[in-house]
Amino acid sequence: MSNKILLQNMMFYGFHGVYEYEREQGQRFYVDVEMHADLSLAGSTDNLLDTIDYTAVYSQIKQVMENHRFQLIEALGAHIAENILKTTIATEVVIRIRKPAVAIPGPLDYVQVETQRRK
Catalytic residue IDs: 99
Q: Could you tell me if 116 and 81 are in contact, meaning their C-beta atoms sit under 8 angstroms apart?
A: yes
Please tell me the distance from the alpha carbon of residue 82 to that of residue 85, in angstroms, as a whole number: 5
Residue 78 Cα distances to 74, 82, 115, 119, angstroms: 6, 6, 6, 13
Q: Which residues pair with 4 in a beta bridge?
A: 36
